[in-house]
């Protein structure tokens, strides 16, 4: 049997992307606050586009769990 779970968490997605971005640029010295904000905005746009393959409306993720095979997969947003 396969069960599809749709999870909706706009704040979690937004925060998780932000944390990942800040961690990736945290190692770069000499950036002003303005430069960091510009980098964050640009990277967030790029990441949002890449994640759109799996996230509907930027916040809904569907996971399909097959309890017979004990596997799970993220369902593409267009399925």
Confidence class for position 15, pLDDT limits 50, 70, 90? very high
| pLDDT of res. 30 | 86
**What is the extent of the structural domain holding 41?**
2-75
Cα separations (Å) of 13 from 10, 46, 67? 5, 14, 26
The mean pLDDT of 26-51, rounded to a whole number, is 89
Model confidence pTM above 0.95: no
Rounded to an integer, the average pLDDT of 5-18 is: 93
Number of domains in the chain: 1
pLDDT of residue 67: 97
At residue 37 the predicted structure's pLDDT band, cuts being 50, 70 and 90, is confident
52 contacts 70 by C-beta, under 8 angstroms = no
Mean pLDDT of 30-51: 91
Q: Residue 7 forms beta bridges with which residues?
A: 61
Strands (DSSP E) found in 1-79: 2-8, 55-56, 60-66, 71-75
């Amino acid at each position: 049997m396969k069960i599809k779970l749709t999870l909706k968490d706009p704040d979690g997605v937004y925060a998780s992307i932000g944390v990942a971005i800040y961690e990736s640029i945290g190692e770069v010295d000499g950036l002003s606050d303005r430069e960091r904000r510009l980098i964050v905005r640009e990277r967030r746009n790029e990441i949002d586009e890449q994640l759109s393959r799996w996230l509907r409306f930027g916040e809904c993720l569907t996971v399909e769990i097959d309890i017979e095979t004990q596997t799970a997969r993220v369902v593409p947003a267009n399925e």
